[in-house]
Copies of this chain bind each other. A is one copy, B any other.
Amino acid sequence: MRLAELSKRSGVSTATIKYYLREGLLPPGRRVSATQAEYDEEHLRRLRLVRALVQVGRVPVATAREVLAAVGDESVDQLSRLGTAVSVLPHGPAATGEDGAVDTARRTAEEVQRRLGWRFVPENPAHGMLVSALAALIRLGYPCDVEQLLPYGRAAATIATHEIALIGEFEAPTTQLEAAVALTVLYEPVLLSLRRLAQAEEAGHRFGGGPAPG
């Protein structure tokens, strides 16, 4: 298909597609004349992922390029590709300062993962993100001991089991990886909004004799 059709089918403007091509987020089309190129279904699929990352997930363009490189790196096995792709996604600010709060947060984060039966991988940036979030709770004096965290961890495990099974339904390995990365980003606001809706419902039962008004 030509650029105009790629734009129409993806809902992404031709100017934005050209920008993604220049930035290397989209592989070049097959040149058919001096001024025209031909694009295929793979371009369309890749474009969806780029939009998910950049427009919805607000991932910086340079980071998106790294994620896509990891997804497409056929020199390593699928699990390594997935691990690398997800690990270069933004993880929020790392824990700052080497005060007692960070030490306690590190110990708590490790213990939670051990109690949940997960292998502890200190290099996983999600571990750094957890340490940073726990350090903030500790500094502000809010509860975040291991017992408080386990229900969140168990809920996360249930969700992850569902997600990884879903991804396994996609056919080609590269398509699976693209879906894994896109769904990781796109389901974050889904989960957070459902949590707030559930809180309103539960607060209604506890404090109001009925569900919360909003």
Residues of A within 8 A of B (CB): 11, 48, 51-52, 56, 77-80, 82-84, 86-87, 91-92, 112-113, 116, 118-119, 121, 123-127, 129-130, 132-134, 136-137, 139-144, 148-149, 151-166, 168, 179-180, 182-184, 186-208, 210-214
* CB-CB nearest in chain B for A81: B207
Given A52-B140, A159-B152, check contact A192 B198 (CB 8 Å): no
Taking CB atoms, residues of chain B closer than 8 Å to A125 are 214
Q: State the CA gap A205–B161 with chains docked (Å).
A: 10
Contact B136 A207 (CB under 8 A): no
Q: Are A143 and B166 in contact (CB under 8 A)?
A: yes
Q: Contacts A51-B140, A140-B186, A158-B155; is A129 near B202 (CB within 8 Å)?
A: no
Chain B residues whose CB sits within 8 angstroms of the CB of A56 once the complex forms = 136, 140
Residues on B with C-beta less than 8 A from A187 are 133, 137, 152
Q: Kindly provide the distance from the CB of A155 to the nearest chain B CB, expressed in whole angstroms.
A: 4
* Residue from A48, A125, A188 with most neighbouring chain B CB atoms (10 Å): A188
> Given the complex, which residues of B lie within 8 Å of A202, measured CB to CB?
157, 160-161, 163-164
Interface centre among A79, A132, A153 (most CB of B within 10 A): A79
A68 CB to nearest B CB, Å: 15
Residues in B neighbouring A80, C-beta threshold 8 A: 213
A35 to chain B, nearest CB (A): 30
| Cβ–Cβ contact A126 & B158, under 8 A | no
CB contact under 8 A between A213 and B133, given known A139-B11, A151-B158, A195-B160: no
Could you tell me the distance in whole angstroms from the C-beta of A161 to the nearest C-beta in chain B?
6
A132 CA to B192 CA, complexed, in Å? 12
Question: A89: nearest residue on chain B (CB-CB)?
Answer: B196
Closest to A86 in B: B196
- Selected from B86, B152, B191, the residue in CB contact (under 8 A) with A152 is B191
Complex CA–CA separation, A96 to B186 (angstroms): 16
